[in-house]
Amino acid sequence: MGKALLTAGLGFALILGLRPCVFAQNDELIYVDQRKAEASLAKAIEPATLGEYAKAATKVLEVCQQYPEYAPAWLTLGELHMKLQEWASAVKALQTSIRLHNRLSIKAYHGLAQAAMNLGDYAMVLAECADIPSFRLASEMQIRDLALWRKQAIWAMEAMKKPEPLKSQLAPVALLGDGSSYLPCLCHNGTQIVFTRRGSDGEDFYESNLIDSTWEQAKALESPLNSDLDEGGCWLSSDGQMIWFTGCYRDGGLGSCDLYYSIRQQGRWQNAVWAGSVINSSGWDAQPTLSSDGLTLYFASTRKGGLGGSDLWVSYGKIDSTDWPLDTLGNPEPMPWWQWRDMEPDKLLWTAPVPLGPALNTAYNENSPYLHPNGRDLYFASAGREGMGNMDLYRARKIADSVAMLPSSWTKDFQLLASLGVPIVLWDEPTNLGYPLNTHEDEMGLALEANGNSAWMSRPHQGRIILHRLGLAPSAQPLMDPETPVLAQILDSQQSLKTEKEWILRDIYFEVNESTPLPASKASLLQLAAWIKMNPELRIEIQGHTDNTGNNEKNRILSQQRAEAVSQSLVRQGCAANQLRAVGYGTSQPIADNNSTEGRALNRRTQIKILP
């Protein structure tokens, strides 16, 4: 090897035509024959151009061993390990690159922080990224990523000091198979599950039923839901009669993946219906979730108009109800649109999708939305918010507001929706579901059971993605009250009934010592019936309560009769009788002092309770 000479006052001089690379480290000079090192490195990385990253990593490691002081080789080795998701090896290589030459490239710091986040080593993220040199060629994305990872590392370290309670278990073997299983959807009160399974032939839907507390062996769904192509990410109506799903590369589609739906008739899924060019785009449109009435659609998409990556979008539907069947009183039959015998695809109309905006979306990926049947709580996965890193699960709660209050960037889209009679919706700041439900790995695909206490989700396990069933901490649970104003939640200050699953019914009136609801109760009973029919998976106890005036046994009988009268009214309006239970509690559960007129008025009430 040729020699290099350091000439005082002139910097580095190259002798004999060689091009040594000189690094300063700990006040020592390190000389590397850069021309030979560059040639060896260029040769070693050739397999990477063919996607053979493991082979390239082996050859680049040989270059690193031959030229151990050549920082670019260590940086390249680190990037190859990143491609292979070999995070610990990437950390070692990138740390070596920085030790040899701390101003070589922002890529070394960016890759090191990313690898550390994937290992859950938050202390390393903060230590290694605390004092990064300025790089003129650093991209906006790299600077943004490093800021996010620092923010997430700080949040995660605090979250790990106060973990939320969590009971989690792997899905039973009958559901798992040999590949990965993820993106569950539930129906029939959580006793039927459809999920995506990836095998050697790609992604398909599998289905299983809970029979006598045991899940049956999962079976692939028949055509037309499954095909020779990929399917994944679905939503089931609570009655199990309609499915929306993601189908990829199908004939007639607009993008890589499009949205479709199918209706089950006589026990079989009918032809898959493409959701149309209003919903679908030339991008990736996937992972749908709908409101209980099937007329509000949320989904993930990479279409133009988002903030970056995949974003959450919403579209509102309307049914052309010409010839909708009427009951004997001339009122429309209360049933979901997918149960209408004469329903045709062209009778289902949609507004142009609108992004949910910066309240929920970020410059990173958001996906796998799940709307709880209450219509108010939206669960989703995001990689761009405070959390444990990678994809974390969040809950956002809906609030209604006027168009005038919307950000100016949204006004055009939402003004258009308002002109179509669509209610304007805003969202509270999303809440991270906490550690250890969220970790440094990818968590996504949450689907709740009807009681709101338990859920299914997807997370990595031993090299593949696996379905898990878990109990939700109280802070992660949804509200169990509907969007309609008929229910008045009991105040926390009333200690005797301090629960989020019991509500007093507003505006339900009776004459003294009578059990038939007065006509003034009609509007509230209609609203309650509408909500119950939209949530057929819930079991509800109708409760009657009285004050302590008179005989206790007569009060109990009267409260029972009133509860039964309310239940019968709901059944007459189309609610399922087996969904309801009427119980009279008489004077046994006061919520106020019976010694005052006001207290006795509060104790005379009709109330509902969501049963487990």
pLDDT tens-place string over residues 445-490: 999 987 788 999 999 999 899 999 999 998 899 987 655 434 444 4
- For residue 93, what pLDDT is reported? 98
The mean per-residue pLDDT over the stretch 218-246 comes to 93
Cβ-contact 57, 65 below 8 angstroms = no
Please name the CATH architecture into which domain 5-159 falls: Alpha Horseshoe (1.25)
Nearest alpha carbon to residue 146 among 120, 107, 119 = 107
User: Which position has the token pair 């670019």?
Assistant: 72
Six token digits for residue 275: 């959701």
Q: Residue 557, class by beta-carbon neighbours within 10 Å (0-12 exposed, 13-18 middle, 19+ buried)?
A: middle
User: Which position has the token pair 């005082």?
Assistant: 8
What's the mean per-residue pLDDT of the chain? 86
332: β partners? 326
- For residue 520, what pLDDT is reported? 67
Pick 490 or 239 by higher pLDDT.
239
- For residue 16, what pLDDT is reported? 27
Q: Residue 573, class by beta-carbon neighbours within 10 Å (0-12 exposed, 13-18 middle, 19+ buried)?
A: middle
The mean per-residue pLDDT over the stretch 36-48 comes to 94
Pick 15 or 232 by higher pLDDT.
232
The CATH number for 487-611, chosen from 3.30.1330.60, 3.50.50.60, 3.30.390.50, 3.40.710.10, is 3.30.1330.60
580-586 and 539-545 strand pairing: parallel
Which pLDDT band, with edges at 50, 70 and 90, does 517 fall under?
confident
CA gap 241, 537 in Å, rounded? 13
- For residue 476, what pLDDT is reported? 92
pTM: 0.76
What are residue 502's phi and psi, to 5 degrees? -130, 135
Q: Where are the alpha helices (DSSP H) in 535-594?
A: 552-572
CA gap 447, 189 in Å, rounded? 12
Contacts of 296 (CB under 8 A, 6+ apart): 290, 314, 315, 316, 317, 371, 375
Does domain 167-323+334-476 fall under CATH 2.120.10.30? My reply is yes
pLDDT tens-place string over residues 529-556: 877 877 777 889 999 999 888 889 999 9
Q: Where are the alpha helices (DSSP H) in 170-214?
A: 173-176
Q: What percent of the chain has pLDDT over 90?
A: 59
CA gap 441, 461 in Å, rounded? 10
Domain ranges of the chain: 5-159, 167-323+334-476, 487-611
Q: Residue 51, class by beta-carbon neighbours within 10 Å (0-12 exposed, 13-18 middle, 19+ buried)?
A: exposed
